[in-house]
Amino acid sequence: MNINAKTGIAANDTAEMLVFYLYEENKKIHTALEPFDTSFNHAISELLKNKEFVAKLNNTCTLPTYGKFPSQRIMLVGLGKKEDITIDKIRQAAGTSVKTAQNMGIKKVTSIMDSMEISAQKTEEWYQAFTEGVVLGLYQFKKYKETKPEEEKEIKILTLLLSDKEVLPLAKEGIRRGQIIADAVSFARDLVNTPSQDKTPTILSNIAKNLAKERAITCKILSVPDLKKLNMGGILGIAQGSTQPPKFIILEYNPRNKNQDTIVIVGKGITFDSGGICLKPAKGMEQMKSDMSGGATVLGIFSVLAQLKVPQRVVGLIPCTENMPGGSAIKPGDIVKFHSGKTAEVANTDAEGRLILADALAYAEKFHPDAVVDFATLTGACVVALGNIATGMMGNNEELKNRIKIAGEKSWERVWELPLWEEYQELIKSDIADIKNTGGPGAGTITAACFLSKFTEKYPWVHLDIAGTSWSEKNNAYIQKGATGVGIMLILELLKNWKKFPKEK
């Protein structure tokens, strides 16, 4: 689909369908809609007056133009109350409108952007969000389905029509950014939705290597002999039970700017989590192909850093392995020794994420990071605590947590903090090793983060538990059932406004 912006008048537009956006409380219809209302004998005003169409978010209504305008149809899309509008609702309304049009078999759509009443300062943001909603709303994972050509419906051209040519450059910039970011999210969603058989650690490494075609990006893959040399007992321990060899992906984006900060992003890359010897129940186990969502988020980010000309140095680390119960699998009670030299007793082989992340987080020190953020589908307890609305956040640095909280609100990939108080650290003490990988029945998300915190003492660090937010159980306006690609919009927003990170005294 081609998405473009231009100036013009709705009544003269030749697209098959024109889309108008309406606020719930607006009594008078928008000026852009007036010529249509007049020529339809005020049918639109009547609809609104009689509440046959109420402009609640995602409500739609289509009307034919009976040959009175170059365009055959118009669609009304509700935005809800104007005072309650958010970036998320713009994405939703955008997604809803293109999905509805596409299902009707329409190929050429024009969105009447003036009807959204965008304030001058918000132009770029709203066009970006709108574009994200369009692209992500139409996202589908169809690679493994037989497609019948007659079922193929696709919008070919979407024009965002506006009247003020002064704002056109800002609108275009918003569309450009939105398109790039939404493509990155779609790329991550594809990876997460892909069955485990087709995204082994080796396959993911090759995908990562492909991203290094960009001049500013390099990619290095550590295999078993390298991991042994580096004493990465966590990732090696978990990989023991699988016939697939583990890989440790290292991506580096370096735009070579003066004064740049180094930000390391770590992503959990369990390409299938069976639980290992502490085998998970069969019901719902298929969803554990998504246990590499953190890794997919890192790959998604790296797919667009160069295009977006991000000025900071960014390092991506993805420890990749399956967690399987093979004959040589790690057993409850075994002790692993990490890259940092610390040891852990494996009380439960299903708490594998923290073991592979421990090695990756310890390794992150090598890059002298100004900040480290990790993404991991780490605990079922996080799904219980926050559902799929907020990502769980824990960390050791107030400034970094604050920046991520703000970026979360701006991108609508919101995070919610849980405490990492030292009392919780008691729960992961082991009788025979430095720590153990479970913390008992309570505070599962926090004790998992406590475990990670033992490897992040040298730098500002935030852990994001995306167990709930990386997967959607149902279809929404711009998030379909399955992978969400969470975290990419958040980090790109964080990097967009990144200021030199204060060194701690």
Query: What is residue 122's three-state secondary structure?
Result: helix
- Contacts with ligand BES in 241-260 (CB under 6 A)? none
- Residue by residue, DSSP assigns 17-76 as EEEEEE-TT--SPPGGGHHHHHHTTTHHHHHHHTTSS---TT-EEEEE-TTSSSSSEEEE
Task: Choose the binding region for ligand BES from 88-96, 178-186, 204-212, 344-352 (rule: CB under 6 A).
Answer: 344-352
The total of other beta-carbon atoms located within 10 Å of residue 73's CB is 18
CB of 263 to ligand BES, least distance (A): 25
Q: Which is nearer to ligand BES, 158 or 336 (CB)?
A: 336
289 is a catalytic site residue = no
Answer for which of 98, 109, 346, 351 binds ligand BES (CB under 6 A) is 351
Q: Which is nearer to ligand BES, 383 or 406 (CB)?
A: 383
73 is a catalytic site residue = no
Q: Is 322 in the site for Mn ion (CB under 5 A)?
A: no
Q: Which is nearer to ligand BES, 266 or 381 (CB)?
A: 381
CB of 353 to ligand BES, least distance (A): 5
Q: Is 273 in the site for Mn ion (CB under 5 A)?
A: yes
Q: Is 352 in the site for ligand BES (CB under 6 A)?
A: yes
Angle ∠(380,382,385) on CA atoms, nearest 5: 120
Task: Choose the binding region for ligand BES from 6-14, 193-201, 296-304, 371-379 (rule: CB under 6 A).
Answer: 371-379
Asked if residue 485 lies in contact with residue 186, where contact means CB atoms within 8 angstroms, the answer is yes
For 84, phi then psi, to 5°, come to: -100, 10
Task: Choose the binding region for Mn ion from 99-107, 156-164, 212-220, 266-274 (rule: CB under 5 A).
Answer: 266-274
Asked if residue 239 lies in contact with residue 322, where contact means CB atoms within 8 angstroms, the answer is yes
Asked if residue 292 lies in contact with residue 271, where contact means CB atoms within 8 angstroms, the answer is yes
What distance in Å separates the CA atoms of residue 289 and residue 269, rounded to the nearest whole number? 10
Query: What is residue 180's three-state secondary structure?
Result: helix
Q: Which is nearer to Zn ion, 353 or 482 (CB)?
A: 353
Q: Is 438 in the site for ligand BES (CB under 6 A)?
A: yes
Position 261: which residue type? D
Give the residue ranges of DSSP H helices in 84-213: 87-103, 123-137, 168-193, 201-211
381 binds, among Zn ion, Mn ion, ligand BES, none (CB under 5 to 8 A by kind): ligand BES
Position 144: which residue type? Y
Task: Specify the DSSP element, H or E, that contains 488.
Answer: helix 488-496
What distance in Å separates the CA atoms of residue 294 and residue 289, rounded to the nearest whole number? 12
Answer for which of 125, 132, 350, 370 binds Mn ion (CB under 5 A) is 350
- Contacts with ligand BES in 175-234 (CB under 6 A)? none
Q: Which is nearer to ligand BES, 252 or 322 (CB)?
A: 322
CB of 361 to ligand BES, least distance (A): 16
Q: Which is nearer to ligand BES, 217 or 448 (CB)?
A: 448
Q: Which residues are catalytic?
A: 280, 354
List of residues contacting ligand BES (CB under 6 A) = 273, 291, 348, 350-353, 377-381, 383, 438, 444, 467
